[in-house]
Amino acid sequence: MEFQKPPLRRDEYSVQIISVVVDVINDCNHACIYCHPMEDGKWGGEMLSADQVGDVLRASDETGALEVLLTGGELTMHPEFGRIMDQTRYLQRVAVAMVTNATLISPDEVKAIRKSGITRICVSLDGPDSDMHDPRRGRGKFAKAVDGLHALQETEKPVTVISVLDRRTYPRILELSRMLADQDLADQHHICAPSYSGSARRSHAEYALTMPDYHEVQALVDGSYQDLLNAGLYLTFNSFWPATGEHGVSERPRTLTLSQARERTKDLYAIVRSNGDVRTTAAAWGRETIGNAVVGNVGEEPTSALLRRTDAAYRRGNIRQLPREVEAGSKFQVGSYAGQTAADALVSIRSAPFEELDLPVPTQLVQPLNELDILANPFGDLDVANLAGQIATSPEQWRLVGHASGIDMAFNRTTSHVTLLKSEETDALMREYNIHGA
C-alpha cells in the first residue's frame, strides 16, 4: 500500500509567544568568566521542582508555543533531572530543547535523555582543545565536555554546540567547527559574543569584541559556511546582527534560528526564572532586565494563567524595548551607546512597570514580527518548492503556525529554525506540498 503523507495544515489559533526559556536551576559546576546567570561570582541555588517544570511544559504546549528551552545553571545537576526528562514525553505540539555543559553526563543521564521528548541538545564548548576552552570554564573541563559530547551521541538526539568567543580566541573558532563536522558530533555550531551581563560584567572589558572583531568573525563564518553545510554542519554567528544590524550569509532569505528571531523582536518569548518568576523580555539583554518585568510566579499561580497574561501584555502592543543600537551599546559595549556606566544605570531601574518604562535612553514600541526587514527578501517559487520538499520528507518534524502579527511560520522542531511567510506564500506552500510535495 502506498504511503500517504499527512496534509499540511496551519494551526487553528494564532500564537504570540513562540518560545519559553526556563531557568530550571540556579546552580552549576562551572564558574565561567562570562556567565549570565551567575551574579558576583556566586550561584543562588534556587531551582524549580520537576512538577513546576512539567506545569510550564504543559502550559507552553497548550498555548501553542513552538519551543521550550530548558537551561540553568547546569540542568543535569538538578536532583530531579530524570523526572524532568519524563515530563517532556507527553506533549502534543511544543518542542523541548535543553542546554548543558556536558561534563556530568553519565549513563543515567544518557538513558533519561534518550527516553525523553527532548528534541535538541545544546552543548557549551568554546574551542577545539583545552588551551582555548579551559581558561574560560575551568581546568580539565574540556576533556570532560568532549567525553560528554561523545556520550550524548547515544541519545540519538540532534546536537547544537554553542561557543562563546572573545577577541583572543575567535581566530581559531573554525577549528572547532571542522572538528564537529569531521567527527559528526553536532549538526549545528552557534557562535556568540560575551555579553555585559551577570558575572561577565566584572571582566567584560577584557574579553569583549570590538566592532571590527564582529566583522572579522562574520567573515570567517561566511567564508566557511557552505563547505561546512555540505559537510553536515550549520554554522552561524548569532551575535552579528544584534551588534551591527547587518546580516551574514548563514541567514537564509526568510529562515532564522529561534534565538535569532528572539533578538529581533522582543515580544516573542517569556522567561521563567529559577525562583518561579515569569517575566516579559522586551527591555532586557542577557540576564539583565530593566524595570519590573515580573508578571507573576509559578509558585503562586498556574503557569497557564501567567503565560496568558504575558501573551495579552504583548498583544496590547504598548510594551517598549531598547532599539537595536541602544541594546548593542549595553549588551556588547559597541557603537555610539556603548558605556558600562550607562548600562549599569539602566539595570538599576527596578520598579518601573514593564509597560511604562521612562528611560534615559531612546526606547521604541516592540517591533512586531511582520515589520522585520528580512520579510523584504524575496521568497519565490523555487523557495516554496524547496520548503515544501523539506516538509514532505519529514512532516512530523514541522508545524505551520500563524503569528498574531499576521505572519505565518514554518517551524522545524528538529533544527529549531523558523521560516517566515506572508499569507500568499503560505497558500503557495500548502498547494505545493499537498499537490506536489510527496
Q: What is the mean pLDDT of the chain?
A: 92
Give 60's contacts (C-beta < 8 A, 6+ positions apart): 20, 68, 94, 303, 307
Same structural domain, 261 and 402: no
- Which residue pairs, CB below 8 angstroms and at least 24 apart, start in 404-411? 404/14, 404/15, 404/16, 404/315, 405/368, 405/369, 405/370, 406/370, 407/369, 407/370, 407/375, 408/10, 409/18, 409/66, 411/18, 411/66, 411/67, 411/95
How crowded is residue 437: how many other Cβ atoms within 10 Å of its Cβ?
21
Same structural domain, 249 and 375: no
Same structural domain, 374 and 280: no
The answer to whether residue 327 is domain-embedded is no
The answer to whether residue 88 is domain-embedded is yes
Cβ-in-10-Å burial (0-12, 13-18, 19+) of 199 comes to buried
Most confident of 7-21, 49-63, 136-150: 49-63
Domain boundary pick from 285, 311, 340: 285
Same structural domain, 211 and 83: yes
| pLDDT top residue among 244 and 41 | 244
- Please state the rounded mean pLDDT for residues 362-380: 91
Domain boundary pick from 267, 285, 303: 285
- Please state the rounded mean pLDDT for residues 340-346: 90
pLDDT tens-digit series, residues 83-113: 999 999 999 999 999 999 999 999 999 999 9
| pLDDT top residue among 173 and 434 | 173
- At residue 340, the 3 state secondary structure works out as helix
Domain that holds residue 393: 370-436
Same structural domain, 272 and 159: yes
Lowest mean pLDDT among 291-295, 358-362, 380-384, 396-400: 358-362
Q: Which residues of 76-89 are buried (b: 16+ CB within 10 A; e: fewer)?
A: bbbebbbebbbbbe
CB 55, CB 298: distance < 8 Å = yes
CB 59, CB 68: distance < 8 Å = no
- Name the DSSP class of 157: -
The answer to whether residue 46 is domain-embedded is yes
Percent share of the chain, pLDDT over 70? 96
- At residue 244, the 3 state secondary structure works out as helix
- Name the DSSP class of 395: G
- Please state the rounded mean pLDDT for residues 154-167: 96
Lowest mean pLDDT among 6-10, 128-132, 238-242: 6-10
Same structural domain, 260 and 379: no
Name the pTM for this structure. Answer: 0.95
CA distances to 127, 240, 244, 334 from 212, rounded to whole Å, are 21, 11, 10, 10
Same structural domain, 271 and 394: no
For the chain, the domain total comes to 2
226 phi, psi to nearest 5 deg: -70, -40
Give 219's contacts (C-beta < 8 A, 6+ positions apart): none
- At residue 166, the 3 state secondary structure works out as coil
| pLDDT top residue among 35 and 319 | 319
Set of cell numbers at residue 17: 509567544
The answer to whether residue 265 is domain-embedded is yes
Which residue type occupies 196?
A: Y
| pLDDT top residue among 240 and 320 | 240
Same structural domain, 281 and 374: no
The answer to whether residue 80 is domain-embedded is yes
Domain boundary pick from 266, 285, 304: 285
Confidence of residue 284 (pLDDT cuts 50, 70, 90): confident
- Please state the rounded mean pLDDT for residues 185-212: 92
Nearest to 238 by CA among 221, 253, 213: 221
- At residue 422, the 3 state secondary structure works out as coil
The answer to whether residue 11 is domain-embedded is no
The answer to whether residue 129 is domain-embedded is yes
- At residue 353, the 3 state secondary structure works out as strand
Strands (E), 65-216: 67-71, 95-100, 120-124, 159-164, 188-192
* Residues listed for the chain: 438
Q: What is the CATH number of the domain that holds 109?
A: 3.20.20.70
- Please state the rounded mean pLDDT for residues 38-52: 84
Q: What is the dihedral of CA 373, 70, 105, 133, to 10 degrees?
A: 40
The answer to whether residue 379 is domain-embedded is yes
Cβ-in-10-Å burial (0-12, 13-18, 19+) of 99 comes to buried
| pLDDT top residue among 88 and 139 | 88
Angle, CA of 180, 184 and 188, to the nearest 5°: 55
Is residue 354 predicted with pLDDT exceeding 80? Answer: no
